[in-house]
Amino acid sequence: MLCTILGAPGAGKGTQALFLKDKLGVPIIATGNLLRDAMKAETELGKSIKDAMNSGHLVPDDLIVDLVSKRLAEEDCKNGAILDGFPRTLAQAEAIDKIFPVDIAISIEVSDEEIISRLTGREICTKCQATYHVEYNPTSVPGICDRCGAMITRRNDDDREIVKERLVIYHSETEPVKKHYEDLGKLKIVVGQKEVADTQRLMAEAVGVKYDNN
Ligand SMILES: [Zn+2]
């Protein structure tokens, strides 16, 4: 199953992607990581991406699609994957559907006010990128990742105005992508809950797998 998770920064995409990865047994493909790896590998594609980034521009859609489709062609994606941070634009969505059609697009929906409050106090694992929140989803041992035992660190993007700007950009980019999948009958809306486990239950329902809380 090829699944994409849409959601504003702070909606819990990372946490839910990890949950689905365990449930579905398919890898997570996070565009941010792919971009970093490609630039390090110094391939032709990596160099083009580096040029685009160094010039201060957004990486063009066709380069991103190229990068993601190459990754999806790898052996470990033969049963599908979870896309995190992709497709970000309508052009990306239309292009990937011609190569690797997305089966389900899950939009995790959380109100902007809630996002703003969540993003204050957000923490991330320095190793496995699992996300936590000092109030809503704390680690069992303060400062230590429950998943892998590495150190967690406070995220630095807590400023309200910056968060508001990011939300405006998020909505303007994502609405056409959502509409695209809605028209194809592939959009599932998951309303983000206060408790992570409650959102997980809805995620399991969206992809049609059994939910057991362990
Ligand atoms: Zn970790």
What CATH number does residue 76 fall under? 3.40.50.300
Distance between CA atoms of 162 and 145, rounded to whole angstroms? Answer: 27
What is the count of structural domains for the chain? 1
Each residue's pLDDT tens digit, 23-55:
999 999 999 889 889 888 888 888 888 888 888
Beta strands 122-125 and 131-133, pairing class? antiparallel
Q: Has residue 202 been placed in a domain?
A: yes
Has residue 146 got a pLDDT over 70?
yes
Phi-psi region of 85 (alpha: psi -120 to 50; beta: other; left: phi over 0): left
Q: Which of 21, 155, 186, 201 is catalytic?
A: 155
Distance 144 CA to ligand 1 centre (A): 8
The answer to whether residue 65 is domain-embedded is yes
Catalytic residue among 118, 122, 178, 188: 122
Burial annotation 166-179 (CB, 10 A radius, 16+ → b, else e): bbeebeeebeebbe
- Assigned domain for 41 exists: yes
**Active-site pick, 21, 23, 70, 166:** 166
Instruction: Let me know if 154 is a catalytic residue.
Output: no
Q: Is 13 a catalytic residue?
A: yes
What is the pLDDT at residue 156?
Answer: 65
Ligand 1 center–CA 199 separation, angstroms = 20
Do the bridges between strand 81-84 and strand 28-30 make them parallel or antiparallel, or are there none, so unpaired? parallel
What's the pLDDT at 134? 83
Q: Could you list the residue range(s) of the whole structural domain that residue 25 is in? A: 2-110+172-207
Q: Does some domain include residue 158?
A: no
Quick check: is 147 in a domain?
Answer: no
Ligand 1 centroid to Cα of residue 162, in Å, is 26
Q: Would 151 be classed as within a structural domain? A: no
CA of 105 to the centre of ligand 1 (A): 26
Ligand 1 centre to CA of 192 (Å) is: 22
Question: Is 56 buried (19+), middle (13-18) or exposed (0-12) by CB count in 10 A?
Answer: exposed
Going from the Cα of 187 to the center of ligand 1, the distance in angstroms, rounded, reads: 30
What is the pLDDT of the chain when averaged over all its residues? 90
For this structure, is 166 an active site residue? yes
Q: 66-112 pLDDT, tens per residue?
A: 999 999 999 999 999 999 989 999 999 999 999 999 999 999 999 99
CB atoms within 10 A of CB 87: 27
pLDDT score at 214 = 54
Instruction: Point out the least confidently predicted range of 83-92, 103-112, 155-164, 177-186.
Output: 155-164
Query: Is-catalytic flag, 160?
Result: no
Structural domain contains residue 194: yes
Give the span between the Cα atoms of 155 and 33, in whole angstroms: 17
For the whole prediction, is pTM greater than 0.85?
A: no
In this prediction, residue 66 carries a pLDDT of 93
Is 178 inside any structural domain? yes
Beta-strand ranges (E) seen in 37-171 are 81-84, 104-109, 122-125, 131-133, 152-154
Burial class for 21, CB neighbours closer than 10 Å (0-12, 13-18, 19+): middle
118 a catalytic residue: no
Q: What is the Å distance from ligand 1's center to 22 Cα?
A: 15
